[in-house]
Amino acid sequence: MDIHEYQAKEILARYNVEVPRGGLAYSPEQAAYRASEIGGSRWVVKAQIHSGARGKAGGIRLCANDKEISEAAEFMLGRKLVTAQTGPRGKLVSRLYVEEAMDIQREIYLGFVLDRKEERVMIVASGSGGMEIEEIAEREPDSIIRAVVDPGTGMMEFQAREIAFGLGLDNAIIGKAVQTLMGCYRAFRELDASMLEINPLVVTRDGRLLALDAKMSFDDNALFRRPQISELRDKSQEDPRETFASDRGLSYVGLDGRIGCIINGAGLAMATMDMIKIAGGEPANFLDIGGGASPERVAKSFRAVLGDKNVETILVNIFAGINRCDWVAEGVVKAIREVGVPVPLVVRLAGTNVEEGRRILAESGEQIIVAETLAEAAEKAVAAWKSVTRAAA
């Protein structure tokens, strides 16, 4: 689960990370009022969406008076911002964060992630902040410092100091950098975060060290024990297709193609998506119905996939081990009769009770295109999709 920048800053401030003074605003008037509360002579108006790279998309504006603040707020509120990270659908701006502007001397990148290979928390830092980490990795790979934390001891001060020195920070600010690093690590561990990124962490001309931007994600599997974190969820920032599915316990990722997929097992789902592409189509989603799926669960999956108006063909691909082909077939027939499937439907079943499953499909009298192998299923799905799009044209 992702949270907003202002929420991440509120959390980090409680862990001794210094952040600029700021306030939330829902209207241009409120934005201007927030600025007057904060004081000073320059402010930054920041669109609160679950995405980075807002600056380049017009979601970060430096302002010097009320008029500029109101104009920036008016431009951003209610707009769907499309950044390099949101996908073409963009994300709706309904909250703004107004902050005192900082006089920046240096921008630093700081990230905490779970490194799967090391099976540990890894700190990634670079003196070349302000750009996205992918860009830093491409342009200045040598500037990147990586450090792995031993879970037995937690992050040690000497390790934080080493990173701070590695970034070439002045002696006067090393203590603050250590405090920041230790605080971030503690927040990451105590709140079950899966990612924490401060980009940029800045050194100001008057020698302060502050998190100018902050991004945090949390482990969905740990949310049950973090009620204060799950309260921060903003469903308006999520893909509605994914929210619908996750509320029903389905594992679903929305994509931009036209062929809806209902599959068991993440590996088979990935393979099926590849096969669709090879056959010349594009998947509309990744959906894993999991093991032991009941007919009801299969019907629910159809609802989730058909909720996406882009879907023009559905491919069901089941390799039943724990699952049962007869249940899946029953679910398919149930979905056709109860939900209605107004697009071509290709079904490939293999594994447990496959004969029974195929018999249920054949005897249903419904229009179902059956396939024996994965390759055949993908080809038939793409062919069916092409014939509907041709017919529509």
Residues near ligand GDP (CB under 6 A): 44, 46, 52-55, 60, 62, 101-102, 104, 107, 130, 199-200, 212-213
Q: Cβ 53 to ligand GDP, closest distance in Å?
A: 5
Cα–Cα distance for residue pair 172/190, rounded to 1 Å:
29
- d(C-alpha 163, C-alpha 173), whole Å: 13
Least distance to ligand GDP, CB of residue 104, Å: 5
379 binding Mn ion? (CB under 5 A) = no
Residues forming the annotated binding site for Mg(2+)? 199, 213
Question: Footprint of Mn ion on residues 211-240 (CB under 5 A)?
Answer: 213
Which residues are documented as binding site for ATP?
46, 99, 102, 107
Selection from Mn ion, ligand GDP, none that 53 binds (CB < 5 to 8 A by kind) is ligand GDP
CA neighbours closer than 13 Å in the CB half-sphere of residue 69:
26
Q: Counting contacts by CB under 5 A, is residue 2 touching Mn ion?
A: no
* Residue 313 engages Mn ion in binding (rule: CB under 5 A): no
Closest CB 362 distance from Mn ion, rounded Å: 56
Virtual torsion, Cα 43, 45, 51, 57, nearest 10 deg: -110
- 177-196 per-residue burial string, b: 16 or more CB within 10 A, e: under 16: bbbbbbbbbbbbeebebbeb
State the minimum distance, in angstroms, from the CB of residue 350 to ligand GDP: 46
- Helices 171-190 and 5-14 sit at what angle, rounded to 10 degrees? 110
On whether the CB atoms of residues 259 and 246 are closer than 8 A, the answer is: no
Which residue, 103 or 338, is less far from ligand GDP as judged by CB?
103
Shortest Å distance, C-beta 47 to ligand GDP: 8
Binding of residue 199 to Mn ion (CB under 5 A): yes
Note whether 336 and 293 are within 8 A (CB). no
Q: Residues 332-371: x/- map of binding to Mn ion (CB under 5 A)? A: ----------------------------------------
> Least Å distance between CB 131 and ligand GDP?
8
Asked if 109 is an active-site residue, the reply is yes
Looking at beta carbons only, is 125 or 212 nearer to ligand GDP?
Answer: 212
The three-point CA angle 178-20-122 to 5° equals: 35
Nearer to ligand GDP, 2 or 213 (CB): 213
51 contributes a contact to Mn ion by CB under 5 A: no
Annotated binding-site residue numbers: 46, 99, 102, 107, 199, 213, 264
Taking the least distance from each CB to ligand GDP, the nearer of 58 and 307 is 58
User: How distant is the alpha carbon of residue 190 from its chain centre?
Assistant: 21
Considering the complex, state which of residue 9 and residue 241 has its C-beta at the smaller distance from Mn ion.
9
Position closest to Mn ion via CB:
213
User: Is 197 noted as a catalytic residue in this protein?
Assistant: yes
Residue 60 site contact among Mn ion, ligand GDP, none (CB < 5 to 8 Å, cut-off depends on kind): ligand GDP
Phi first, then psi, for residue 121 (nearest 5°) are -75, 130
CB 56 → ligand GDP: shortest distance, Å? 6
Cβ neighbours of residue 211 closer than 8 Å, sequence gap 6 or more: 9, 12, 17, 18, 19, 180, 198, 201
Q: Which residues pair with 181 in a beta bridge?
A: none
Q: Which residue has the tokens 């079904």?
A: 347
Q: How many residues bind Mn ion (CB under 5 A)?
A: 2
CA distance 278 to 382: 10
Residue from 184, 174, 182 nearest 209 by CA: 174
Nearer to Mn ion, 215 or 258 (CB): 215
Q: Which is nearer to ligand GDP, 81 or 349 (CB)?
A: 81
Radius of gyration of the chain (CA): 25
Q: Which candidate in 6, 109, 185, 252 is catalytic?
A: 109
375: partner contacted, choices Mn ion, ligand GDP, none (Cβ within 5-8 A by kind): none
- The answer to whether the CB of 191 falls within 8 A of the CB of 218 is yes
Among 197, 312, 330, 379, which one carries the catalytic annotation? 197
Site of interaction with Mn ion (CB under 5 A): 199, 213
- Active-site positions? 109, 197
